[in-house]
Amino acid sequence: MRIGGRVEWLLEPATPDEFVAAWHAARERGYEPRVLGGGANLLVEDGVLPGVVITTARMKRIFRPSATTDEALDQDPSSSIAPRPRGEDPRLVAWCGTTLPSLVSTARDLGWSGLEGIVGVPGHVGGGVAMNAGGRWGELWDVIELVRVIDREGELRDLARAECSPRYRNWGLEGMVALGAVFRLEVQSVGEVRARGAEYLREKRRVQPVTEWSCGCIFKNPDPELSDGRSAGKLIDDCGGKVLSRGDAIVSPLHANFIVNTRAATAADVTTLIEDVRDLVRERSGVELEREVRIWRAAELANPL
């Protein structure tokens, strides 16, 4: 959203091992570190936020594994491997700092299907895995075979798909951090995959303010039984929410579940507007919307152990 303050400490590991070292360094000094991925689903409060943030922005690696799935994440991505035909072994390994758009375009250029549903979703692989990013055409966990995580004790663990229970916008591994994943895709023709992705993106651009400064959908879609099958966007729209604004933060006229920073909105404008929208929907429809966007507040950030 181009909003929010600065942090006291920012650590920038470039590899999973460096990440683990950064995590332990913060904990040993009494801080519970926050992990910043692409920031696409995050709102950070204004001002200087005390504490430690670890960014995964330098952990940008995507490659075809030459090893079995169990060992794929141990492979050194800088080692050269002989080129293989695209019809062979359609798996990709991505570290958490890889952008979702580059994961999608790598698969598309190989003619590998399975990630088209993620087209147009911003952010990084780490956040996408942890949020089970996706939409009406599919979710990231549809094609995940293995994830590498750091657990609450700071240990690295590899979890196979069968050991995980991802749900709507939730990977079910609260408190852990995704450091990388192995994706299993399906070989199709390059033209087919490209055309499908382009069609989804066209449709998305028609209904969402994709190029504006937002943090994606603000609220999760409610239980259809409670909302007469209406999505959060439709519900807010039906309740008249599209006229709401605070400072330079407005409810998008294109899609009511997006808040857009039109110029110089502050984090306080956005958080207040989020509550305005939630109050309006509660009063007019009785539905309690649950926030999808995460908010980092100064008080939580300090969080000494």
Q: Which of 118, 157, 112 lies closest to 141 in space, CA to CA?
A: 118
Smallest distance, Å, CB 217 to ligand EPU? 3
Beta strands in the chain (DSSP E): 6-11, 34-36, 42-44, 48-55, 62-63, 91-95, 112-113, 134-135, 138-139, 144-150, 156-160, 177-184, 186-187, 245-246, 249-251, 259-261, 294-296
Structure tokens at 106: 């790598």
DSSP 213-253: S--S-SBPPPPTTTTTT--HHHHHHHTTGGG-EETTEEE-S
Site for ligand EPU in 223-262 (CB under 6 A): 231-234, 237, 255-257
Q: What is the largest CA-CA distance in the chain?
A: 62
CA 284/CA 279 separation, integer angstroms: 9
Residue 116 or 269: the one with the smaller Cβ distance to ligand EPU is 116
Catalytic residue among 86, 169, 194, 294: 169
Q: Does 166 bind ligand EPU (CB under 6 A)?
A: no
Pick the closer one to ligand EPU by CB: 194 or 220: 220
Catalytic residue among 96, 215, 217, 239: 217
Residue 106 touches ligand EPU, criterion: CB under 6 A? no
- Spatial distance between the Cα atoms of 15 and 215, rounded to a whole number of angstroms: 27
Task: Using the minimum distance from each CB to ligand EPU, give the nearer residue, 38 or 216.
Answer: 216
Query: Taking the complex as a whole, how short is the minimal distance between the CB of residue 121 and ligand EPU, in angstroms?
Result: 7
Q: Is 91 a catalytic residue?
A: no
The contact mask relative to ligand EPU for 112-151 (x = CB under 6 A, - = no) is -----------------------xxx--------------
Of residues 182 and 235, the one with the C-beta less far from ligand EPU: 235
Which position among 54, 130, 146, 217 is part of the footprint of ligand EPU (CB under 6 A)?
Answer: 217
- Known active-site residue 169: yes
**Rounded to the nearest whole angstrom, what is the least distance from the CB of residue 79 to ligand EPU in the complex?**
36
> Judged by CB under 6 A, which of 220, 284, 291, 294 binds ligand EPU?
220
Q: Is 27 a catalytic residue?
A: no
Task: Please tell me the count of residues contacting ligand EPU according to CB under 6 A.
Answer: 18
Joined tokens for residue 202: 């066209």
Choice between 42 and 149, CB closer to ligand EPU: 42
Rounded distance between C-alpha atoms, residue 291 and residue 27, angstroms: 29
> Are 62 and 95 contacting, i.e. CB atoms less than 8 angstroms apart?
yes
- Give the separation between CA 211 and CA 199, rounded to whole angstroms: 17
Which is closer to ligand EPU, CB of 74 or CB of 279? Answer: 279
Q: Which stretch binds ligand EPU (CB under 6 A): 12-20, 72-80, 212-220, 266-274?
A: 212-220
Residue, CB closest to ligand EPU:
135
What's the chain's Rg over C-alpha atoms? Answer: 20
Q: What are phi and psi of 30, to 5 degrees?
A: 90, 15
Q: Which residues are known catalytic residues?
A: 169, 217, 292
Residues in the site for ligand EPU, rule: CB under 6 A? 135-137, 207-208, 216-217, 220-221, 231-234, 237, 255-257, 292
